[in-house]
A = this chain, B = another copy of it.
Amino acid sequence: MKAIVIHAAKDLRIEERAPEEPGPGQVEIRLATGGICGSDLHYFNHGGFGAIRLKEPMVLGHEVAGHVTKLGAGVEGLAIGQLVGVSPSRPCFSCKYCREGMHNQCLNMRFYGSAMPFPHIQGAFREGLVAEAWQCVPADGLSAGEAAMAEPLAVTLHATRRAGEMLGKSVLVTGCGPIGVLAILAARRAGANHIVATDLSDYTLAMAKKVGADIVLNSGNATDALDAYKADKGTFDVLYECSGAQAALVSAIAVMRPGATILQLGLGGDMSLPMMAITAKELSLRGSFRFHGEYAMAMGLMQKGLIDVKPLISETVGLDEARRGFELASDRSKAMKVQISFG
């Protein structure tokens, strides 16, 4: 079977990998669709990010859906042929954080396609995937492309839950890549009222508008794009910071209301922040990292039609076009979510 393997920056290869057999409690999946995520692009374009660097070849991919082809011993609740999303979150369930229910902080996490430990955790962009049955969430009624979106959607649902109740809130989203746009959908679903989104790309802003942002602002066109929201110490109750860019976060801090919550999703390096404003306005800056229980929640909300991710899937390429898919996904002026069809 074929897999998409990154060897170094720009060195992406389609390689053969030996198929595996599902053991007890496991299932075999024939992959249908894999979405390209920002971290996949970091490996593809830069060989890693921050201190996390590729040290050996690694199968990429963690946004995947496919059809069940074989059931290991003792598996119940899944059927041959059924479409499932496969959660890439594989905590150990026994370390101290797992025992407290903080699975995304697991000390032994084996998240698909991560170069963090060595040997690396191999990813899920492979024609055949053996996974634990509990990773597999039925996606009946959805397309494989939608099912594969459960993963990034879960990231934004997790962040939204960290913000507490959202009903009637004013929300700012900085950075309108796939995570930012999904954050708009999540915030709206959770009851946000006014939603403003910023980015440097008119393409992504058009998408933000399409999925429900009330106002979109190109922050590259005007340094004072948010000035209208500065009155009375600031306007927004919640910020989803999805750009990972210091300039975006600093600009946003100036328009956050006293007591507001900042959800930091964007992954960036060190940032110089105006601590005086954070302190004096009593802002609450909360990191938000991956998800766990929200994967099934994401699937459920899509299945009920309560969140529609279809507009985000801007292009689907074949497995043999994977490189083109990665290049396309790297261009924020042309593509939102790019997915690979595994056949």
Contact = CB atoms under 8 A, between A and B. Distances in A.
Interface stretch (A11-19, A55-63, A269-277): A269-277
Contacts of A204: none
A97 B284 contact: no
Q: How many copies does the complex hold?
A: 4
A21 B145 CA distance: 56
Nearest to A293: B100
Please name the 3 residue pairs, one residue from A and one from B, whose CB atoms are nearest each other, closest first.
Answer: A101-B101, A168-B297, A279-B287
Contact of A164 (B165, B267, B301): B165
A210 interface: no
A264 B286 contact: no
Contacts of A104: 282
Contacts of A96: 232
Given A160-B167, A282-B289, 14 more contacts: A50-B276, A93-B93, A96-B232, A99-B101, A99-B103, A107-B233, A157-B167, A161-B165, A161-B167, A168-B300, A268-B275, A271-B272, A271-B273, A279-B289
A270 B267 contact: no
A265 B287 contact: no
B193 A300 contact: yes
Interface string A183-197: 000100111010000
A259 interface: yes
Given A287-B279, A297-B167, A258 B105 contact: yes
Given A99-B101, A107-B233, A287-B280, A190 B162 contact: no
